Structure 1
């Protein structure tokens, strides 16, 4: 997501907006899609989002098909339109990574454990009022309450400090160790992957020799000993 789409910090001269966050309502579909059109990321909002938002929820935490769609609305405002939007769903690497493509069971496990924020946007005249962090936190809390253990998103380098303040770790390459393999998530420059633990059993670690952040404990047993290291691109655990 590029900086024009999100309010990276509340301006010292601007009072933080008081907002209500709620699942997307049918009456707001057009405004929601218009807000999402403002987002730009390495992933992008999935094709067919206009069809996804009319589907019944697949399962919690999703609100529309396989997606969590939330809006932010100014509290006590006479303007009924939403001022912010977030779209989260299953991470693409849960079913497109070489390790998951031919392993439906593994793909399903990851799809019930990690969530990807595909789009986050705030209307231009309401940016820098804390709306984007509030939406992001609401999405994280909703996912966490349904047992999700990791939040991920893709962003440009200049937004790394913003996401760091919200508890994310950013890297061009993220490794997720599994019992018999290591799943690597790589973004082509300039984009970066940001990851945040939603469960106390998950850690985002720095491992000697690793090309970037390492996520351990995504599922029980997917941990690394303190002596773990990378040598010539290979995980030595």
Structure 2
């Protein structure tokens, strides 16, 4: 049956939307007058209020680190197990941007990672080693639209990659989908990860999860009948085989 003009327009729009979701990341250009670096203890009075502007729609309980965290020595990340970065104005020394990241905090909110069971405890530990969460990123109004947020996220990805994380995630308002697409993220209402414990699904009402592979071999795979792309290759032995399909909440392999 020949396609009508409306059908052709709908198909073209669908393809355009798919391309927008998979835009290649733009390289981070040098920022004149701004330096990205680990936060210092003396930055606390500027760093934490900036972060709170980014998470005010959720809860202050989501603040990823108490002020004393900025005095923690480097371990896996810049501040113990946390990644705390600032964008600093090189002329004034003021903090004009802030980012906090680390292991994805939503991992502990799923029944599959209940620490009361050995299976849940072990799965949570493995996922926290492989899946990162960028908890909050914020830029001072004086430095909006200057690429500061992009530079903070790009720097965070480098730190996370070096620390062994293979997948980056970030919760955001739907209106920011285009911004994260330009950084190479796919935004989805439901994140499904193929883990040693099976499929692990996580959603957040009112928010989207932006997802980006950090290493070769990690990809977001579209599987027939699955309600969302599946993160494949994040864990050893957990690559979605070609020809797989989704049925009754499970991945069925050929």
TM-score, with length taken from structure 2: 0.79
Conservation of the 8 A alpha-carbon contact between 2:167 and 2:215? yes
Structure-2 change in CA distance of 1:48 and 1:236 (3 Å): closer
Conservation of the 8 A alpha-carbon contact between 1:32 and 1:82? yes
Structure 2 residue 108 is matched with structure 1 residue 95: yes
What is the SS of the residue equivalent to 1:38? helix
Name 1:217's counterpart in structure 2.
Answer: 233
Deviation, structure 1 residue 89: 1.9
Name 2:35's counterpart in structure 1.
Answer: 20
Deviation, structure 1 residue 74: 2.2
Structure 2 residue 52 is matched with structure 1 residue 37: yes
Conservation of the 8 A alpha-carbon contact between 1:69 and 1:87? yes
Structure 2 residue 212 is matched with structure 1 residue 196: yes
Which of structures 1 and 2 has the larger relative contact order (alpha carbons within 8 angstroms, sep 6+)?
Answer: 1
What is the SS of the residue equivalent to 1:222? coil
What is the SS of the residue equivalent to 1:230? strand
In 1, the alpha carbon distance for the partners of 2:37 and 2:144 equals 19
For the aligned residue pairs, the C-alpha RMSD in angstroms reads 2.1
- Gapped runs of 5+ residues in structure 2? 1-29
Structure-2 change in CA distance of 1:42 and 1:186 (3 Å): farther
In 2, the alpha carbon distance for the partners of 1:46 and 1:130 equals 25
Structure-2 change in CA distance of 1:47 and 1:34 (3 Å): closer
In 1, the alpha carbon distance for the partners of 2:178 and 2:60 equals 21
In 1, the alpha carbon distance for the partners of 2:244 and 2:111 equals 23
Name 1:84's counterpart in structure 2.
Answer: 97
Conservation of the 8 A alpha-carbon contact between 1:43 and 1:118? no
- Work out which of the residue numbers 161, 167, 171 in structure 2 matches 1:144: 161
What is the SS of the residue equivalent to 1:39? helix
In 1, the alpha carbon distance for the partners of 2:99 and 2:218 equals 24
Normalized per residue, the structure richer in helix is: 2
